[in-house]
Amino acid sequence: MNSNTKHSSNAIKNTSSSSLVFFTIVSLLLFSFVPHTVSDPRISEAGLYCGISKSPANANYIPSFIKEMETLSQLVTNHNWGTHFVNISAIPIYGFAQCFNDLSHTDCLLCYAASRTKLPRCLPSVSARIYLDGCFLRYDNYSFYSEGIDPLRDTVNCTSQRGTVVGEAERLRLEKSVGEVVDRVAMIAVSGGGFAVGEVEGVYAMAQCWNSVGSEGCRDCLRKGGKEVRRCLPKKEGRALNAGCYLRYSTEKFYHEKGASQGGKGFLRRGTIIAAVLAAAALLMISLSALYAAFTKLSKIKKESNNLSQISSSISKSSLNYKYETLEKATDYFNSSRKIGEGGAGSVYKGILPNGKVVAVKRLIFNNRQWVDEFFNEVNLISGIEHKNLVKLLGCSIEGPESLLVYEYIPKKSLDQFIFEKNKTQMLNWNQRFDIILGTAEGLAYLHGGSKIRIIHRDIKSSNVLLDENLIPKIADFGLARCFGADKTYLSTGIAGTLGYMAPEYLIRGQLTDKADVYSFGVLVLEIVCGRRNNVFREDSGSLLRTVWKLYRSNTLAEAVDSCLGDDFPATEASRVFHIGLLCAQASASLRPSMAEVVYMLSNSNGHVPTPNQPPFLNTGVLDSDSSITSYRTHNFVSNALNKVEVSYSSSESSSSGSSDRPSRSEKPESKLHV
């Protein structure tokens, strides 16, 4: 582990320890008030059971537990009991809480708050139950609500602060009274709503069934409890703690008469206790959250460190490895005059190796969360694939102060400089544009199904398509790429990409399939033919998708062709290419063709091309002609689409620093999105 990791680990440990010490001291101070109060919410612990099974270390379990406790707290506040379950982690959590019927609402809240501070001692167990003398709280990984008895976990508590009776006569009298009063309250509880209290010759008893247990379950539970609690004799007190009920006897009265007044000084003191215990409960939840966050952060740091170590070891032994010093000299120590491109992940430099070979060296800039993933993606995914329309990865360096990737050098730079620059040094004619569209389609088709693994690029756009000296397109920048298993219909993943090229199902629901690349390709096709960016908005016509769709509906698609071509293009073929682009950019992923089908349609001029449906977002205000993609408008639109999920974006640089394409005051550059 490197020094940064050690420092982070120590900081986390210190923070967690400080939180625990602080919480422990405050809790002890707060609970020190409880025994001295007049009110008796009966928060003494009668029994605690922690399950054997533990939640996995990588499960999102603690946040689920906290959510469950918060929801139960609200239910208890409103109804004095409640059931609820959450299923946002790998393991579902079913929860139950109930106060005993003789407690006032104030004492009920106090008892639940106390149980909530005690039960987390069982974490990370996936099941636990706690019996206080005034309430019950349980969570488990299955629906247990109707259980009356549990042969493995039902128990009896014969601990008695009142001691044991001595003398044969006293013992026989106690046995008789306990038997009578226990049977009586059990019978009344079964027929009277699940609760009863009673007294026989100085012996007091309470029977409480949980509200989620039916009458049969209540009867079975109290019948078993009545037998078990007799085992405590000749103790002066005993409790049966079963899955569906609580049964207690004592020689001292411990319950409240229902409806008894609880005002005045006692109420004020109870208010103080409630405030104290609720504060302790809140502190515990905060501590749990802090511990979980610390554990998660430490786990991620260790994982990144391990990944880096594994990558470094495997690369250093392979033919992909380049010495950092060699690449540093090859780029003239990353001289700005050698810079040929720049993007969100770093700058690209032209380099000349000692053997005279010209290469492109990508100098990576990573943040702590994603740099290992993105580096591993580029090295692992494209080092093993080779296709004429994919940029070839030659190697990398990970031993120096920064990570470097080495690619084949593409002298003509990126496609966006050819189709969007206002002062074009080399204008692309129609045949060249068509060949670029077809070549890009073939490269994507290979990624999706032509290699040993299926790869989704996730960021197809004009600046990620490079052109060689023969204008052959090569797809580049695999930092966001994802492997896609043959047994999966889609991947659920964080949203990343460039606004204007992202498929609606991916942008809104995070569902990633190869059809997301198809959508991006459809947008790219329209850009190549029209010579205009899709995510640039003009006051006269709105978005490119809107413009092309309107012209398609009016059967005037020729008007959308780049004016630089004049009339020097085949109208029928251009119309066919427009149709294919609109097919790929349809709102429904299921209606979009596969890239293999796209290649077939482009290669066979007489083949059938289906009629496209409307692209997405055309009826939303964000694509209106009077709107622009400002930080506020884009944030608002995406937030609404994602049901208030917050997003942020920053302007994306061109893959070449020499572009002279500058948006006018009514145009905005493309925006990079990470959620």
Residues with a known catalytic role: 459
Measured distance CA(267)–CA(575) in Å, rounded: 82
Q: What is the DSSP letter of 663?
A: -
Alpha helices in 82-143 (DSSP H): 105-118
Are 520 and 461 within 8 A, CB to CB? yes
Which pair of structure tokens corresponds to residue 545?
Answer: 């998708």
Residue type, 184: R
Measured distance CA(61)–CA(292) in Å, rounded: 9
Q: How many helices (H) and strands (E) does the chain have?
A: 16, 24
Measured distance CA(525)–CA(438) in Å, rounded: 10
β-bridge pairing 339-343 and 237-241:
unpaired
Strand arrangement, sheet containing 404-408: 339-343, 346-352, 358-364, 404-408, 393-397
Residue type, 452: K
Cα 550 vs. chain centroid, distance in angstroms? 39
Q: What is the DSSP letter of 193?
A: T
Query: Residue 672 forms beta bridges with which residues?
Result: 498, 650
**DSSP per-residue codes, 144-163:** -TT----TTT-EEE---TT-
Are 195 and 263 within 8 A, CB to CB? no
Q: How far is CA 249 from each of CA 198, 230, 254, 666, rounded to the nearest angstrom?
A: 9, 10, 9, 82
Are 601 and 609 within 8 A, CB to CB? yes
Which pair of structure tokens corresponds to residue 459?
Answer: 């960021």
Q: Which helix (H) or strand (E) holds 250?
A: strand 245-250
**Those residues with Cβ within 8 angstroms of residue 483's Cβ, 6 or more apart along the chain or in another chain:** 381, 453, 454, 455, 456
Q: Which helix (H) or strand (E) holds 511?
A: strand 511-512
End-to-end CA distance of the chain: 29
- Angle, CA 466 vertex, CA 569 and CA 542 arms, to 5°: 60
**Those residues with Cβ within 8 angstroms of residue 333's Cβ, 6 or more apart along the chain or in another chain:** none
Are 521 and 584 within 8 A, CB to CB? yes
**Those residues with Cβ within 8 angstroms of residue 75's Cβ, 6 or more apart along the chain or in another chain:** 81, 82, 83, 84, 97
**DSSP per-residue codes, 280-292:** HHHHHHHHHHHHH
Q: At what angle do helices 168-191 and 215-229 cross, to 10 degrees?
A: 170
Are 595 and 589 within 8 A, CB to CB? no
Are 513 and 589 within 8 A, CB to CB? yes
Q: What sign results for the dihedral spanned by CA atoms 476, 530, 633, 652?
A: positive
Measured distance CA(500)–CA(513) in Å, rounded: 17
Measured distance CA(43)–CA(183) in Å, rounded: 26
